[in-house]
């Protein structure tokens, strides 16, 4: 049975090093993560660029009308849902901290930082972990749709384990120093190989130990080939017997009829 750590090491050998780096300051990472919900990173980056280009500062976004924010970020998709969430999060951060800054989170431990972020309206465990991992280097594993799918297919989590519950399961199984690599490898693998609709199992470095693999093992392929060959031989023998019977009937119908009567 494949373990999470064994899967990590094999994917690491396949994809190569993926060193951590800080993508953005934490508040920008939070807003970009909200924009990335149910869309691509490219669309989220484009929407954030338009948001920042229009307003230019956090306080202006927090004070803006929701409809204006939604119009500005429409290229990111679901703008009517994301606009009030962004405005509300910014207002709540300022109300709690007196500033638009989340750098203080690096002074907290992981549990406290997660609690602080997830008590913001509209910020769930995956979004919080994205901020803490990608911006501040906390040892946590955001479980998005790709990580969840790959982990489930590999049997690293139960078939009914939700993405939210998978956070704790996977983080308990992976050393803290490997949390970032685990997330990045599983994201890359889910996007490029373990596709939701058409997984490319033959190209997967884990397929020999994956319970969901669609690749037929060589031993089973050999057995199947043997069964197909036996069936083919049987069909050939039956065809030969029928052909012989027809030739004999054409040569002497009376003899064949007599043989048939004798066996009756």
- Please check whether residue 26 is in contact with residue 136, taking contact to mean a CB–CB distance below 8 angstroms: yes
Query: How many angstroms separate the first and last alpha carbons of the chain?
Result: 60
The CATH topology of domain 26-135 is: Endonuclease III; domain 1 (1.10.340)
The domain made up of 4-17+142-208 has a fold known as Endonuclease Iii, domain 2 (1.10.1670)
Condensed to tens digits (0 to 9), the pLDDT of residues 69-120 reads 999 999 999 999 999 999 999 999 999 999 999 999 999 999 999 999 999 9
Letter string b/e over residues 71-108, b meaning 16 or more CB atoms within 10 A of that residue's CB: ebbeebbebeebbebbbebbbbbeeeeeeeebeebeeb
**pLDDT, tens only, 216-248:** 664 444 444 445 555 554 566 655 655 655 565
What's the CA gap between 147 and 153, in Å, rounded?
A: 10
pTM here is 0.81
Find the mean pLDDT for residues 174-192: 98
Phi, psi of 11 (to 5 degrees): -70, -35
How high is the pLDDT of residue 225?
45
**Average pLDDT over all residues of the chain:** 89
Q: How far is CA 97 from the centre of its chain?
A: 35
Q: How far is residue 56 CA from its own chain's centroid? A: 34
């Amino acid at each position: 049975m494949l373990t999470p750590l064994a899967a990590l090491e094999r994917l690491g050998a396949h994809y190569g090093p993926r060193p951590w780096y800080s993508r953005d300051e934490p508040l920008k990472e939070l807003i970009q993560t909200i924009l990335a919900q149910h869309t691509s990173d490219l669309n989220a980056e484009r929407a954030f660029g338009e948001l920042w280009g229009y307003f230019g500062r956090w306080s202006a976004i927090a004070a803006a009308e929701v409809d204006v924010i939604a119009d500005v970020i429409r290229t990111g998709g679901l703008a009517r849902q994301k606009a009030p969430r962004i405005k509300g999060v910014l207002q709540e951060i300022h109300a709690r901290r007196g500033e638009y800054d989340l750098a203080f989170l690096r002074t907290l431990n992981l549990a406290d930082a997660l609690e602080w972020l997830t008590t913001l309206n509209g910020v769930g465990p995956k979004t919080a972990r994205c901020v803490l991992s990608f911006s501040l280097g906390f040892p946590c594993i955001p479980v998005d749709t790709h990580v969840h799918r790959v982990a489930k297919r590999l049997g690293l989590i139960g078939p009914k384990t939700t993405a939210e519950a998978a956070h704790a399961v996977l983080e308990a199984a992976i050393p803290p120093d490997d949390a970032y690599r685990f997330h990045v490898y599983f994201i890359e693998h889910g996007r490029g190989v373990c596709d939701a609709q058409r997984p490319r199992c033959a190209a997967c470095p884990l397929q020999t130990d994956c319970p969901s693999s669609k690749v037929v093992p060589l031993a089973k392929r050999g057995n199947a080939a043997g069964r197909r060959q036996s069936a083919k031989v049987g069909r050939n023998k039956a065809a030969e017997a029928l052909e012989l019977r027809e030739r004999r009937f054409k040569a002497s119908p009376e003899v064949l009829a007599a043989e048939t009567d004798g066996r009756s």
